[in-house]
Amino acid sequence: MSQYKIGQIRRSLIRALREEHGLTQARAAELAGIGSKQRWCNIERGSNGFGICRSTLERIAGVLQCAPHDLLEPLMPAFGGGSGGVRYSLNRSA
């Protein structure tokens, strides 16, 4: 199964949003259906070799009331076209 690399995930934002919503790691994990507090903790900490699949990222975003791409690190600044926006990596690693 393809997964996002943990380095692509904005771990500090996940924690900040969870705390802003007054959720414990255990409750957030339960709401997202990801199994355990420890798994949520691994996502926030970025434990070595840990990745998450797209569906998990989408469930986490649902719990945190944001878009999945908001939880990904910017890939690079956008150039040209005058958008001045940021591109996000939506590619999954093999």
What residues does each domain of the chain span? 4-88
Number of H helices, E strands in the chain: 4, 4
Q: What pLDDT is recorded for position 71?
A: 92
CB 3 within 8 A of CB 51: yes
Angle at which helices 37-45 and 25-32 cross, to 10°: 100
CB 79 within 8 A of CB 70: no
Q: What pLDDT is recorded for position 35?
A: 83
Q: What pLDDT is recorded for position 76?
A: 57
Q: What pLDDT is recorded for position 77?
A: 53
Q: Is 0.75 topped by the overall pTM?
A: no
Report the CATH superfamily, name and number, of domain 4-88: lambda repressor-like DNA-binding domains (1.10.260.40)
pLDDT averaged per 10 residues, the chain (length 94):
62 94 96 91 77 88 95 67 44 43
